[in-house]
Amino acid sequence: MEQDIENSLFDLSVDETAKDHLRRICSWTMIIVITAVIGYVVAIIKSLMPKAQVLQSEGFGVSVSRGQNPGSVIFGVIFGLLINYFLYQFSNRTKKGVNGMSQTDLNAGFYNLKIYFVIISVMVIIALAFVLLFFLAVGANGATK
């Protein structure tokens, strides 16, 4: 018990400045989540709109694609919702932790922030791998010609 109290005296504390920063971070992450969810609804609406419109330009018809493939939109929305779920959990639990002085909620909030960054980083690594594969395929194609 005494050891715990001594340890806590030497730990970093979440002082008033840190609490203020964390509250602001929570507010903005909640704004990001809400904006993202509205964005997904807009993306779904756009994907259901008529696909292409023809712009007439001095006698030449130029087809301009409007809206994305519904499959890619659904994939994007599912992926986005997954990321934003963890951001929402971070915002919610950290706010509870800071306002209610709950160490468990604060720790859960930080855990969700970690998962949020891990998922984004893994997705970035996968995307970079695809880009690299694309360039390798283009290079190999060019070399065989």
* Sites of contact with other proteins (CB under 8 A): 5, 8-15, 17-19, 21-22, 24-25, 28-29, 31-32, 35-36, 38-39, 42-43, 45-46, 49, 57-58, 60, 62, 97-98, 101, 103, 106-107, 110-111, 113-114, 116-118, 120-121, 124, 128
Q: 39: which 2 tokens?
A: 């964005």
Name the minimum Å distance from CB 72 to other proteins: 16
14 touches 22 (CB < 8 A):
yes
62 touches 68 (CB < 8 A):
no
The nearer residue to other proteins, 20 or 78, going by C-beta atoms, is: 20
Q: 24: which 2 tokens?
A: 């602001």
Strand partners, 65: 52
Name the minimum Å distance from CB 28 to other proteins: 4
Name the minimum Å distance from CB 143 to other proteins: 19
Helix (H, G, I), strand (E, B) or coil at 49: coil
The nearer residue to other proteins, 1 or 140, going by C-beta atoms, is: 1
The nearer residue to other proteins, 31 or 52, going by C-beta atoms, is: 31
Name the minimum Å distance from CB 142 to other proteins: 14
- Please state, in angstroms and as integers, the Cα–Cα distance from residue 44 to each residue in 7, 66, 72, 110, following that order: 52, 13, 10, 31
Instruction: Judge residue 85's burial from the number of C-beta atoms within 10 Å of its C-beta, 0-12 exposed, 13-18 middle, 19 or more buried.
Output: middle
